[in-house]
Amino acid sequence: MNIAEEIQRRRTFAIISHPDAGKTTLTEKLLLYGGAILEAGSVKGKKANKHAVSDWMEIEKKRGISVSSSVMQFQYEGYCINILDTPGHQDFSEDTYRTLMAADSAVMVIDASKGVEAQTKKLFKVCLLRHIPVFTFINKMDRSAMDPFVLLEHIQSELGIETYAMNWPIGSGKEFQGVYERDHRRIIAFHGGDHGMQAAEVTEGSLEDDSFVDVIGAHFFEKLKEDSELLDIAGTEFDIERVSRGELTPVFFGSALTNFGVQPFLEHFLQMTTSPLPRECADGELLDPKREEFSAFVFKIQANMNKAHRDRIAFMRICSGRFEKGMEVEHVQGKRKIKLAQPQQFMAQDREIIEEAFAGDVIGVFDPGIFSIGDTLCDPSLKVEFQKIPTFAPEHFARVTQKDTMKRKQFLKGITQIAQEGAIQVFQEINIGMEEIIVGGVGVLQFDVLEQRLKSEYNVDIKLEILPYQCVRWILNEGLDPNTLNLTSESKRVRDLKGRNLIIFANSWGIKWATQQNPQLQLAEVGNVQ
C-alpha cells in the first residue's frame, strides 16, 4: 500500500460524553468489533477515573492503564481506526479539549434518559471551534428514555446543531423493540442480553405493508409509521456536506451495554466520517495530509507513565506523510533536529514499539523535557508550524507555596514541568513574580494531582490555599500595562509562563466592570498557548 492509500483508510476520532453516559462501554464494544481486545472490561478500570480522588490516583499510579486506554488503534474492514479516549472526570476536561484538537471527528455519547448534560455542552463547544463532524450515539435505550423527538429537539436547542436521525428507536426500556434503519428500511430487533458478536436479527421490509407487524406488534408498528412520517416531513434533510462542516449531526439510537446498534453505528460512521483532514498552519495555509513529508504536533504530554523509568511521553498526532522509527525530524519550537527513537503506539492495554505510522495516527515518544503542548515536528525540508492549541480558562485557583523553603529549586522545576504538560496552569502575580505562584485548573481535582505529583516525583511538600476567584481572561492588547487598568479590588493582575498578561476575577461581574471602565481593553476566554 502506498502512503496515500494508508492515509486514506485512516479514521481518527475522539469520544466525548458527560461522565456515565456510556463512553467507556461504547469504546469497549467498538474495540471488540475490531478484535483489539478479547473481552469486555479490559479497557480500563472504569470506575477509577471518574469517582473518588483516591481511585483516580490509583489509576494514575498504574499509568500504563490510563494512558494506554487514551489512544487506541484497531483495524476494521480495511479501515485503520484511531480512537482517542478522553478522561471521564470533568476536572480533567482540559485534557479532553486538547485531545479533540488531534481528532478529525467526534462521537458524542448521550444518555437517553438525561439528554445533553453539562459536560457534553462544554466539550461540544470545542468541536464547534474546530468545525469537525460530530456523530451522536444516544445510549441506554434499554432503559427508560426520553421521547426521541424531545431528545433531538434537546440536542438542537442546547448545542445549536441540527440533527438527522439515522435510525429510529421502537419503544424504550422494558419495551424496547429495536431500531428502524431509515436508509436500509429495515428493523433490527432487540432481544435484551448481550448482543455480542453475533449477527443481529434483521428484518427487511417496508412501512407501507405489514411485514414488520410480526416483529414488533401492531401497536409499535403504528407508532413507528407515525414517527417516520413526522421525521420525513418535519426533520432536517440529510446532507453529508453539512455533516462534515459540523452543522448537522447524524444521530443513532442504541444500547452499548447490550451491544445493540453498535456495529451498525460503526459501519455508518466509518462511511460518513472523514479520512485525516488537512491541518491548519500558523500562517493560515492548510497542509495536505497526503504529502510525503512527515509532520506532527504534540497534543498531550504525560509524565512518569512508567514509575520504574520516570519517563515522560509526548503524544503527537501525525498530520502528514509517513513516520519511520528512528527518523530525524525538526523540532520547530526547539529550533533543532532530533531523532525520534522509540516511538510507541498504544492498543488496549499494551504499548508497543512501532516501525512506521501515517498521517492520522497518534504516536508517543519519550520526552526528555523538551516538548511543550502544541509543538510542531516535521521533516526538515517541510518547514511548517501548526496552529497553536488553545488553553481554556481555568475556573479554580489556588495559591501554592512549598513547605520547606530549602526546596525552592525543586519546587519551581516540578511546577513548571507539570504546567508544561498542561496538567495545570501557572500564574505569577505581576508585581510579585515567582514569589507567589497561583495555579489554575478546570477542576479542583487537578490541584490534588499536583500536590501528589510534586510529593512523589519531586519530593516537595506544598501548601495549597484555594482562592476565591472564578474566572480568568487573557489581555489581548499588546503593550498595555495592566497596572494602568481600572479594576475592582478583587481582581488580580497576573502573567502566565509564556509571559502573557491576564486578569483573574472573582466573578463575571468583575469582568463586566473591567470592560466598562477600560473601553480599550480586549479580553479573551481562550488563550493561544505556545
Which residues line the annotated binding site for GTP?
17-24, 85-89, 139-142
**Does 413 contact ligand G4P by CB under 6 A?**
no
Asked if 76 contacts 270 with a C-beta cutoff of 8 angstroms, the reply is yes
The CB density around residue 134, as the number of other CB atoms within 10 Å, is 26
User: Does residue 17 touch ligand G4P according to CB under 6 A?
Assistant: yes
Q: Is the CB of 254 or the CB of 390 nearer to ligand G4P?
A: 254
Contact in structure between 382 and 339 (CB atoms under 8 Å): no
| 40 alpha carbon, distance to own chain's centre | 22
Q: CB atoms < 10 A from the CB of 203, how many?
A: 15
Pick the stretch among 250-258, 276-284, 376-384, 396-404 that binds ligand G4P (CB under 6 A).
Answer: 250-258
Q: Cα–Cα distance between 227 and 214 in angstroms, integer?
A: 19
Q: For strand 523-524 and strand 471-475, is the pairing parallel, antiparallel, or unpaired?
A: antiparallel
Contact string 338-377 vs ligand G4P (x = CB under 6 A)? ----------------------------------------
Residue number, 45 or 278, with CB nearest to ligand G4P: 45
Assigned C-alpha cell, 147: 421521547
**Given 3, 4, 19, 385, the residue binding ligand G4P (CB under 6 A):** 19
Residue 150: exposure state from Cβ atoms within 10 A (0-12, 13-18, ≥19): exposed
Question: How many residues sit in the footprint of ligand G4P (CB under 6 A)?
Answer: 19
146 near ligand G4P, judged by CB under 6 A: no
Torsion of CA 60, 65, 70, 71, to 10 degrees: 140
CB nearer to ligand G4P: give 19 or 64.
19
Task: Verify binding: residue 21, ligand G4P, rule CB under 6 A.
Answer: yes
Cell of 382: 517541510
Return binding residues. 17-24, 85-89, 139-142
Is residue 332 classed as helix, strand or coil in its secondary structure?
coil
Q: Are 136 and 108 in contact (CB under 8 A)?
A: yes
Q: Give the dihedral sign, CA 477/483/489/494.
A: positive
Residue 371's identity, in one-letter code, is F
CB of residue 15 vs ligand G4P: minimum separation in angstroms?
Answer: 8
Q: Which of 11, 23, 186, 322 binds ligand G4P (CB under 6 A)?
A: 23
Stretch 42-81 residues interacting with ligand G4P (CB under 6 A): 46, 50
Residue type, 336: R
Among 146, 188, 257, 442, binds ligand G4P (CB under 6 A): 257
Give the bridge partners for 429, in sequence order: 433, 494
Is 187 among the residues that bind ligand G4P (CB under 6 A)? no
Shortest distance, position 170 Cβ to ligand G4P, whole Å: 16
φ/ψ of 45, rounded to 5, equals -70, 85
Stretch that binds ligand G4P, among 253-261, 294-302, 328-336, 451-459 (CB under 6 A): 253-261
Of 70 and 255, the one with the shorter C-beta distance to ligand G4P is 255
* Residue with smaller CB distance to ligand G4P, 255 or 302: 255
| Interface with ligand G4P in residues 115-144 (CB under 6 A) | 139-140, 142-143
| Rg value, the chain, Cα | 24
Among 25, 68, 320, 425, binds ligand G4P (CB under 6 A): 25
Minimum Å gap between C-beta 513 and ligand G4P is: 39
Residue selected from 80, 155, 256, 514 as contacting ligand G4P according to rule CB under 6 A: 256
DSSP 237: P
Contacting positions for ligand G4P (CB under 6 A): 17, 19-25, 46, 50, 88, 139-140, 142-143, 255-258
